[in-house]
Amino acid sequence: MKSQITNALSDFFFEYETPRQVLVRNRRVGVVCRLIQLGVLAYIIGWVFIYEKGYQTTDTAVSSVFTKMKGVGYTNVNGSERVWDVADYIFPPQGDSSFVVMTNYIITENQTMGKCPELEGANNCSSNADCDEGRFKRHMTGVCVQSTRTCEVLAWCPVEDDRKIPYPPHLMSAENYTLFIKNSVTFPTFGVTRSNLVEGIDTAYISKCSFHPEDDPLCPIFKLGDIVQMSGFNFETIAHKGGAIGIVIDWTCNLDVDVKHCKPDYRFHGLYGNPDEVDKTRASVGYNFRYAKHYMEDKIPKRTLLKVFGIRIDIIVKSLARKFDIIPTLTAIGSGVGIFGVATVVCDLVLLYLLPKREFYKNMKFKYTDTHPKDPDSETGSTETQK
């Protein structure tokens, strides 16, 4: 019994099976099939391996972004000069990857909680009956103020007058602000960490550089006016009503080469709601929000309301690292062999169904167990037809 197993094992190990093949010496079929096979081979080597780098595995990064604006804005509204520094024009202040730079504003000072008439033009009334109490969008008191012919509301008074957006925008000087971006990415699968302050970007360089797509593509300092322009907008237009800009930091890295070639690529494009969009019937252009500074005056809580128009900047990190890996390589090879099999099937169809000598080739290729399946499992032997 044991020797039987040993025999079977030794048989298994000392034998080797290889398919028997017909070598068809036919120019037409030969050329067609070789061309199909060469095409498949070219596709696998050229497209899958070289062009699409199918021998590599991919990973996306976890990333972290920190931003810092610099620059001082200056306004002179009705003879009252003031400057706006970073603590005044950036929301939120702590350097997030998504923030707003104020470029225009409507200020309503000294608001207190109380009752006052609405602006002319909104909620017009002729008698108290026109002013339902407690409607949802405004909290009405039910009184029609005769001097303005508008309803009285319970609100922060005086109510904000935002019917006209200041033009030219108050803070056109925002064009000269600079933005500094720090970004680090980590590809956890490959254990690689990179910063956008790559080799050669040191303090000396940063102190004097300004991003330019061709001349200084790695400088992490961006002039706000340049950002707006590279996104395809006009600064005055976007500063007037506000808008949103995406800065995409693209890390596409081939880690089979030296990691120092893994560098960020900055791209700029407009997001939703930009004021010079062609289609004016589309909803909601511009970008604005309201922000209040609260204070106490003579024991009465008051606030200064700012309707802020600004440029919202979203920094979006997009990352893809690739590195050689055995599994995608062998999967690509394996499925390539499968496609080779498809090529053989196609050639066989030509050989067996289209050629004049197809009957001859059929007999060469196939060996029949018997002519007609009358008694399939009988032990009465078989014949190879036409041999």
Element (DSSP H or E) covering residue 151: strand 150-157
Provide the minimum distance between the beta carbon of 193 and a second copy in the complex, in angstroms, as a whole number. Answer: 8
103, 151, 368, 381, 383 from 377: Cα distances, Å: 90, 100, 14, 10, 14
Give the Cβ contact number of residue 233 at 10 Å.
21
Q: Residue 222: which of 233, 206, 236 has the closest Cα?
A: 206
Is 189 marked within a binding site? no
Is 307 marked within a binding site? yes
86, 113, 116, 160 from 131: Cα distances, Å: 43, 20, 13, 19
Nearer to a second copy, 126 or 213 (CB): 213
Provide the minimum distance between the beta carbon of 80 and a second copy in the complex, in angstroms, as a whole number. Answer: 9
Provide the minimum distance between the beta carbon of 296 and a second copy in the complex, in angstroms, as a whole number. Answer: 4
Buried/exposed code over 292-320 (b: 16+ C-beta within 10 A; e: otherwise): eeeeeeeeeebbebbbbbbbbbebbbbbe
Provide the minimum distance between the beta carbon of 185 and a second copy in the complex, in angstroms, as a whole number. Answer: 10
221, 223, 251, 315 from 266: Cα distances, Å: 11, 13, 9, 10
Q: Which residues pair with 73 in a beta bridge?
A: 84
Is 208 marked within a binding site? no
Find where tokens 């990415």 sit.
185
Measured CA to CA, the distance from residue 355 to residue 358 in angstroms comes to: 5
Nearer to a second copy, 70 or 261 (CB): 70
Provide the minimum distance between the beta carbon of 276 and a second copy in the complex, in angstroms, as a whole number. Answer: 16
Is 137 marked within a binding site? no
Nearer to a second copy, 85 or 120 (CB): 85
Provide the minimum distance between the beta carbon of 375 and a second copy in the complex, in angstroms, as a whole number. Answer: 10
Measured CA to CA, the distance from residue 227 to residue 181 in angstroms comes to: 13
Nearer to a second copy, 229 or 320 (CB): 320
Find where tokens 């319970």 sit.
154
Nearer to a second copy, 24 or 229 (CB): 24
Is 34 marked within a binding site? no
Provide the minimum distance between the beta carbon of 284 and a second copy in the complex, in angstroms, as a whole number. Answer: 7
Is 178 marked within a binding site? yes
Measured CA to CA, the distance from residue 39 to residue 263 in angstroms comes to: 36
Nearer to a second copy, 258 or 379 (CB): 379
Sign of the dihedral through C-alpha 253, 257, 262, 268: negative
> Which residues fall within 8 angstroms of residue 120, CB to CB, at 6 or more apart?
148, 149, 150
Nearer to a second copy, 127 or 176 (CB): 176
**Which residues does the annotation place in the binding site for ATP?**
68-70, 178, 288-290, 307
